[in-house]
Amino acid sequence: MNEHDFIAALRALPLHPGAQDLRDDTAVIEIGGETLVVTHDAIAEGVHYRAGTDPADIAWKLVAVNLSDLAAKAAEPVGVLIGATLVEGSERFVDGLREVLEAYGVKLLGGDTISHTGPATFGCTAIGRATVRPVPARMGARAGDALYVTGTIGAALLGFEAGEGAAYLRPRPRLAEGLGLGPHVSAMMDVSDGLLLDARRMAEASGCTAAIALDAVPFAPGTTDRLAAASWGDDYELLFAAPEGVRLPVPATRIGTMLNKGAEPLLLDGKSPSTRLGYEHR
């Protein structure tokens, strides 16, 4: 069972309305007069980091990737819960956890620990407070919207190739940018699995076709294989659609346009890409 089939099977279970039919990266829960945004991501040795990685870097990445999901919902972080495997050097995990929590002003709410042999796995649940309604989602883009991305694409790939550099192990979630963009976007998500794959996901969820110009994508300095960078992932920039001509409150680069739904959900330089679009769990 691959990731797509597994999620499809989960949709047959009793779902909370806030789960949004499991078609987005977060749950949105109404409690009294408050709207909470809840997300959970796990990272594992051999998939998200190499064996021998400093546990401080593991802790940073674990929290950062979850905060990135909150950023894409224009949510203010309330706190995180951590599920940690006890490993050699767990004191360094605590050091890294302190660093990332202090860097983003986030509080630890609790969590759980386990001890076992074999590759380590870590989990994090992040809870945020919505700042805009409706909460931005990957669905909602409309034909005619401009498609943008913050920052640059490909820095994580370069860091990984160089031996797991900072851009790969210590991504910087775009929390401030997400808060600023929230009132202006039609749809928004973070780039976790590859720019091309995530653009296709946004287009499919919105009933559109995303037309991207590769030359318009802001690649990180030093990028030589642009297609590989656009489909590699781990950049944690914000990908968003906004009405044509909207004045953006944060720096971002226009990379394309949302079109009426066509035969293909993604066009790259006017054609359906024939290459792998991004990372999907098998």
pLDDT reading at 279 higher than 70: no
Q: What is the pLDDT of residues 196-225, one digit of tens each?
A: 999 999 999 999 999 999 999 999 999 999
Note whether residue 279 is domain-resident.
Answer: no
pLDDT reading at 149 higher than 90: yes
Same domain, 126 and 10: yes
**Residue numbers of the domain that contains 232:** 146-268
Choice among 43-47, 248-252, 271-275 with the minimum mean pLDDT: 271-275
Note whether residue 138 is domain-resident.
Answer: no
Note whether residue 40 is domain-resident.
Answer: yes
Same domain, 93 and 184: no
Same domain, 200 and 87: no
pLDDT reading at 259 higher than 60: yes
Same domain, 102 and 192: no
Note the pLDDT of residue 234: 94
Note whether residue 141 is domain-resident.
Answer: no
Angstrom distances, CA of residue 198 to CA of 29, 136, 280: 24, 15, 11
Note the pLDDT of residue 276: 80
CA distance 208 to 56: 41
Same domain, 120 and 160: no
Same domain, 202 and 155: yes
Average confidence score pLDDT of the chain: 94
pLDDT reading at 281 higher than 50: no
Alpha helices, H only, the chain:
3-10, 55-71, 90-104, 155-161, 166-169, 175-181, 195-206, 226-230
- The separation between the first and the last C-alpha atoms of the chain, rounded to the nearest angstrom, is 7
Q: What is the CATH number of the domain that holds 232?
A: 3.90.650.10
Q: What is the pLDDT of residues 63-100, one digit of tens each?
A: 999 999 999 999 999 999 999 999 888 999 999 999 99
Same domain, 36 and 119: yes
Same domain, 196 and 248: yes
Q: What is the CATH number of the domain that holds 46?
A: 3.30.1330.10
Q: How many domains does the chain have?
A: 2
